[in-house]
Amino acid sequence: MSHRFSNIETAPPDAILGLTEAFNADSNPDKLNLSVGVYKDESGKTPILQSVKAAEKKILETEATKGYLPIDGSPDYAADVRNLVFGDTVPQDRVAVVQTPGGTGGLRVAADFMRTQLPQVKIWMPNPTWANHPAIFTAAGVPSDTYRYLADDRTSLDLDGMLQTLRESASPGDVVLLHGCCHNPTGIDPTPEDWKQIAAVVQEKQLLPLIDFAYQGFGDGIEADATGLRTVLAHTDEALVCTSFSKNFGLYSERVGAISLVAASAADATAARSQLKRAVRTNYSNPPRHGGSIVATILSDEALTAQWKEELEAMRVRITRLREQFVETMKTTGKGHDFEFLLRQKGMFSYSGLTPMQVDELKAKYGIYIVGSGRINVAGMSETKMQYFCESVASVL
């Protein structure tokens, strides 16, 4: 009998995580990994927050079981997600929160839910979007299309193009994927005024917003970053929101996220929750406990909450400083290329305008890893390596 696995084609490396594999194998002592969206401190480490450590200490002392969580996760955790994301903008009984392994887990549950419960709809994604977005929805069998997002100058939002595609090409009832803040990969966010226009189109075309909200706290702050989401929710009574605590609690490997479904009534939310649970059960059965316990422990303790907010703010401020330092350093090393536009971008990422060839050259010559689209993880920069980074960028321009 011939071997069944002999003719399997090797898949290409993941566009984002594959680069870290290559980075780890690189022997260049000056190497710099600005690919995956992970926060790093000045020493290049991804630190565990002090508030997280303190919560883990508490959990170690008090945790009484490793038994399964319910399919939809911990109710305490769900209440925390509801408060952080929605504040008091939506009545609690209209929101079904399901704890998921990371924001990616939430997106996959959303995709499976769409395929079974909304089989006629298409999902519209911004062009560009996070590389895993189309992959997740395609894997789940949900048809997708793109709307204009990036303007031709590649440094700003094409709001008119975005609204026009949604108005002219989307069908009523289609899903529109919106990045709640800190757009990945561009760092280009709509202004509060832009969000009002986006919300108006959502209402006019009866689109179902699916808001990916993975970077709350990294743009302008925890509450300010929810402005767009809350503006959209004021114009529709149904939505899906996928959240992640990978970045804002630094809990990357704990896989802690959620999908929240906002329904028009409590009865609708209950029925929809039962279908979300079905999607979970056939994917991974029920979520991991530890990461959600950390979040719930922090948010149920005033002192730990205050400490977490300070730590998150410190990460946000440091990223902004790195962004400014990069722009400043490029003024002297950048051969006249203007990078001021980076100062208008928000969150971990920036679209640098570097071409795939320049990105390849940076990797091969300088051991600098950034995503092929030219996306730079600003949160991975370091003050001490800024000169090296800027000179390397300048040499490939």
361 with 369: CB under 8 angstroms?
no
Q: Which residue is nearest to ligand LMR (CB)?
A: 37
Integer-rounded Cα Rg, in Å, for the chain is 21
- Cβ neighbours of residue 292 closer than 8 Å, sequence gap 6 or more: 69, 73, 74, 77, 99, 256
Closest to 380 (Cα-Cα) out of 56, 37, 47: 37
Q: Which is nearer to ligand LMR, 15 or 200 (CB)?
A: 15
Q: Can 40 be counted among the known catalytic residues?
A: no
Q: How far is the CB of 37 from ligand LMR (least distance, A)?
A: 3
Q: How far is the CB of 368 from ligand LMR (least distance, A)?
A: 16
Other beta carbons less than 10 A from residue 324's beta carbon? 12
Q: Which is nearer to ligand LMR, 36 or 272 (CB)?
A: 36
Q: Which is nearer to ligand LMR, 74 or 217 (CB)?
A: 217
Rounded CA-CA distance 122/286 in Å is: 27
Q: Which is nearer to ligand LMR, 36 or 393 (CB)?
A: 36
Rounded CA-CA distance 260/80 in Å is: 12
Binding site for ligand LMR (CB under 6 A): 16, 36-37, 130, 132, 184
Q: Which is nearer to ligand LMR, 74 or 132 (CB)?
A: 132
Token code pair at residue 116: 């079974």
Q: How far is the CB of 382 from ligand LMR (least distance, A)?
A: 18
Determine which one of 247, 277, 346, 363 is catalytic: 247
Q: Which is nearer to ligand LMR, 186 or 293 (CB)?
A: 186
Q: Can 130 be counted among the known catalytic residues?
A: yes
Determine which one of 72, 80, 158, 212 is catalytic: 212
Cα torsion at 313, 316, 317, 323 (round to 10°)? Answer: 180
Q: How far is the CB of 184 from ligand LMR (least distance, A)?
A: 5
Q: Can 308 be counted among the known catalytic residues?
A: no
- Determine the residue type at 356: P
Q: How far is the CB of 67 from ligand LMR (least distance, A)?
A: 29
Q: Which is nearer to ligand LMR, 94 or 179 (CB)?
A: 179
Determine which one of 80, 122, 124, 130 is catalytic: 130
Q: How far is the CB of 104 from ligand LMR (least distance, A)?
A: 6
235 with 203: CB under 8 angstroms?
yes
Q: How far is the CB of 287 from ligand LMR (least distance, A)?
A: 17
Positions annotated as catalytic residues are 130, 212, 247
